[in-house]
């Protein structure tokens, strides 16, 4: 009897340490297995998968979600990086009537070519949230939507609206390209081992067609404004460093257009367009440094572009506006006005 009790304690401790059926879950891979079957079923239900759908699952792990997906769709394409999980999932589906519907790919999703699919459903490693989201939204083949579990704060940034404290560059860049809805809050105790933070499931539906804008220009403007999202735009754009940047960018664009008007349209999209914005607050010293920069003497060319910038802000009515309060339509109107005045951000 004492030996039996000791074995139970050992098993309980193993779960706390992240052990699963003989192997240890790796923190470097962000492995936290969703163990609550009710949460798993709720995610599948909210995904509203059709019997004709091809479903993409990223990081299937041991297959708790995979098995439920196989029951309701035509095919599951599961991309798993950890070879131990690949073996475990292969063992688990052996003999099942639905095993023929699984296409298991042993690879890093960020490096593999994204397959054609209808719906993405995934509980992902949180450290790849931004690049994974970017890759999905940049996918050239249209899909209906993705239902993905993210870290709670990241998810709240995705759905944040103008005026919300978590509203940032990530929010507006994602919402420019997709409609995002919060579906489900998931506590950390629903995972083995429990992560340090709670999670949320969101639904991401890409806009079709995508907005016809230059994403380099868009992200250049948004990045600049959200570095000091609580400052008025007039205060941001008066700094010498900002004016010098706009002057250099505008000169480059003009040179490209003069050489080949089509070359501007062929520039590649910015790789970190959707990386989470962590520069929404700054120290007093950093603010003071920018204020000192604003008082430095401007040369003639910088004064000229400053006059043009201030004229655009006055014309659009955004001079006294803060980025934290601006929506997609506001930034689109501002970018159009800047470009019409031959002022560029990339």
Annotated binding residues, written as ranges, equal: 32, 34, 59, 80, 108, 123
245-254 own/partner pairs: CB under 8 Å, 24+ apart: 246/305, 246/309, 246/343, 246/344, 246/345, 247/301, 247/302, 247/305, 249/220, 249/344, 249/345, 249/346, 250/305, 250/342, 250/343, 250/344, 252/344, 253/344, 253/346, 254/342
Which of 141, 148, 100, 133 has the alpha carbon at shortest distance from 117? 141
Angle between helices 328-340 and 169-177 (to 10 degrees): 90
Cis peptide upstream of residue 209 (ω within 30 degrees of 0): yes
Q: Of 254, 246, 265, give the one whose Cα is nearest residue 308.
A: 246
- Write out the two tokens for 51: 């019997």
Annotated binding site for S-adenosyl-L-methionine: 32, 34, 59, 80, 108, 123
Under 8 Å between Cβ of 252 and 267: no
Dist. CA 91–CA 259, nearest whole Å: 60
- Encoded tokens for 311: 């004229």
DSSP labels for 5-34?
HHHHHHHHHHHHHTEETTEEPPGGGT--EE
């Amino acid at each position: 009897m004492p030996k039996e009790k000791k074995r139970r304690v050992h098993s309980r401790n193993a779960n706390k340490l992240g052990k699963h059926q003989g192997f240890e879950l790796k923190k470097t891979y962000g492995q936290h297995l969703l163990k609550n079957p009710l949460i798993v079923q709720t995610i599948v239900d909210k995904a509203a998968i059709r019997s004709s759908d091809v479903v993409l699952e990223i990081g299937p792990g041991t297959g708790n979600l995979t098995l439920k997906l196989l029951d309701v769709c035509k095919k599951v394409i599961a991309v798993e990086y950890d070879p131990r999980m690949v073996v475990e999932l292969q063992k688990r589906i052996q003999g099942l009537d639905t095993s023929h519907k699984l296409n298991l790919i042993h690879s890093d999703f960020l490096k593999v070519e994204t397959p054609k699919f209808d719906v993405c459903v995934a509980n992902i490693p949180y450290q790849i949230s931004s690049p994974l989201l970017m890759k999905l939204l940049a996918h050239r083949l249209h899909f209906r939507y993705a239902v993905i579990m993210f870290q709670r704060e990241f998810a709240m940034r995705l759905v944040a609206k103008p005026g919300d404290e978590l509203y940032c560059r990530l929010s507006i860049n994602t919402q420019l390209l997709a409609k995002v809805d919060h579906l489900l809050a998931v506590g950390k105790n629903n995972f083995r081992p429990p992560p340090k933070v709670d999670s949320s499931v969101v639904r991401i539906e890409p806009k079709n067609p995508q907005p016809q804008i230059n994403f380099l220009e868009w992200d250049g403007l948004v990045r600049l404004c959200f570095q000091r999202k609580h400052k008025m735009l007039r205060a941001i754009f008066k700094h010498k460093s900002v004016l010098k940047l706009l002057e250099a960018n505008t000169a480059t664009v003009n040179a490209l257009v003069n050489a080949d008007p089509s070359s501007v349209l062929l520039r590649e999209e910015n790789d970190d367009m959707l990386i989470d914005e962590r520069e929404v607050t700054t120290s007093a010293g950093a603010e003071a440094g920018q204020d000192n920069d604003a008082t430095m003497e401007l040369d003639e060319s910088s004064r000229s572009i400053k006059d043009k910038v201030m004229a655009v802000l006055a014309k659009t009515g955004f001079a006294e506006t803060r980025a934290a309060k601006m929506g997609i339509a506001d930034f689109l109107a501002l970018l159009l006005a800047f470009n019409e005045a031959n002022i560029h951000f990339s």
